[in-house]
Amino acid sequence: MVVALVAAVVVAEPAARSRPESQNRPAAAPAVPSGWGREQLGMSLAELRRLYPDARLGTPLTAPFDDPRVQRWLRFAVEESDLPQPVDIEYRLWDEKLWMVLVYTGVNPSAAVRRALERRFGPPTDRGATPTWLWPDRKLVTHLDQRWFALVHRATDREARAALQGPNTRRPASATDSRQAP
């Protein structure tokens, strides 16, 4: 349950960035990342399952992510060469495409995680308290104080956000909802 609440923050990004995303230039990474590990953002569920047969289907998320097109696949205690302790990884899919890779850093110190991210991706685009890396078609957002970061496929993110927040979004009506027709 905590994972669902923490992970939900990625889509509803925090307002407390030092600059709006549109004012940041792309990150100066050695190369635009295709994913966190061997996966590639935008790949199909079948491709992801072939790469990581140990991934297990996670429980569905709650509103506003309670849509059958959102799936969570999880791997636990994954060893990462650039971090001192194992991490848990969530592969979140939208409509059978890899939307984002969330890494729950567990007991790894925030400073070690930030150093690992900077080694892998270069200096962040936004160096604020929640460092962010931006590229034309993906972004990496962090909440190191909450012990997670996410690499997000921006096109899939826009598609999922539009569908999840759109007027045709399927939401079960509450019995106490005053907007309900009698």
Of 13-17, 45-49, 140-144, minimum mean pLDDT range = 13-17
Q: What percent of the chain has pLDDT over 70?
A: 74
Q: Measure the CA–CA gap between 140 and 125, rounded to whole angstroms.
A: 10
Q: What percent of the chain has pLDDT over 90?
A: 65
Q: Measure the CA–CA gap between 93 and 100, rounded to whole angstroms.
A: 7
Q: Give alpha helix (H) positions in 52-170.
A: 110-121, 154-165
Pairing of strands 97-104, 87-94: antiparallel
The pLDDT of residue 11: 41
Cβ 108 vs Cβ 84: under 8 Å? yes
